[in-house]
Amino acid sequence: MVPSITRELPTKQLIFLLIAAAFAVPFAGCGGDDSSGSETQTYSVEASTTMLVASPPLTKQQFVDRTNQDCQVSWVRIQENVDAFRRKQDPKLSEKERFAETVRDLLLGEIVFHIFDAIRIRGAPSGETEEIEEIIGPMQASSELGQKGRPALYTIEQLTEHYREYNQGARKYGIDECLIDEAHVPRI
């Protein structure tokens, strides 16, 4: 059985997470259509990617271990939400359209809420704030662009490529359970 997120997070962190999500939802679909080539690198994210130092302070290994553990739980929750979303989709849509709709309208927001926000709320190990910001910034940019349909993502390969920069940084840092790749992304 997967533990409840409300039992794992201290009350202050849960309240902050809920407030952050409430503010993020109205802006999830906002923005113009600037379809340039390497958008992730030139796109300015709407959400804050500024990291604070974890309190109480964590070593890098503690941060990696706890973040990986949280992501394992998050992927289970995300799969449950994807399954519920898919049951409500229009059966007349093609599989390609259903995949793209699931990614754009649900999965990317789930990634932000369950993975990006969890990393940000935890806080970085002392002296590592800039490094963590450099990892999560591309995740947030890819998520925001994808929610705007830039680009439309029709396959797991396209989704993985869309998060390539984030995945490279996360893998290098050791947060392998948080990768947005074929091994972790829910069955859609």
Considering only 26-35, 41-50, 59-68, 158-167, which range has the smallest mean pLDDT?
Answer: 26-35
Would you say residue 131 lies in a domain?
A: yes
Q: Is the pLDDT of residue 13 over 90?
A: no
- Domains identified in the chain, total number: 1
Considering only 5-14, 26-35, 48-57, 64-73, which range has the smallest mean pLDDT?
Answer: 26-35
pTM: 0.77
Residue % of the chain over a pLDDT of 90? 72
Mean pLDDT of the chain: 84
Q: Is the pLDDT of residue 32 over 90?
A: no
Would you say residue 14 lies in a domain?
A: no
Would you say residue 110 lies in a domain?
A: yes
pLDDT at site 82? 97
Would you say residue 173 lies in a domain?
A: yes
Alpha helices by DSSP H, listed for the chain, are: 5-8, 11-24, 39-42, 60-87, 95-102, 108-111, 117-122, 129-147, 156-162, 164-173
User: Comparing C-alpha atoms, which of 104, 117, 87, 103 is closest to residue 20?
Assistant: 117
Would you say residue 25 lies in a domain?
A: no
Mean pLDDT, residues 55-64 taken together: 96
Which range marks the domain in which residue 94 is found? 57-188
Give 141-177 pLDDT, tens digit per residue.
999 999 999 999 999 999 999 999 999 999 999 999 9
pLDDT at site 44? 87
Would you say residue 160 lies in a domain?
A: yes
pLDDT at site 185? 94
Would you say residue 4 lies in a domain?
A: no
Would you say residue 80 lies in a domain?
A: yes
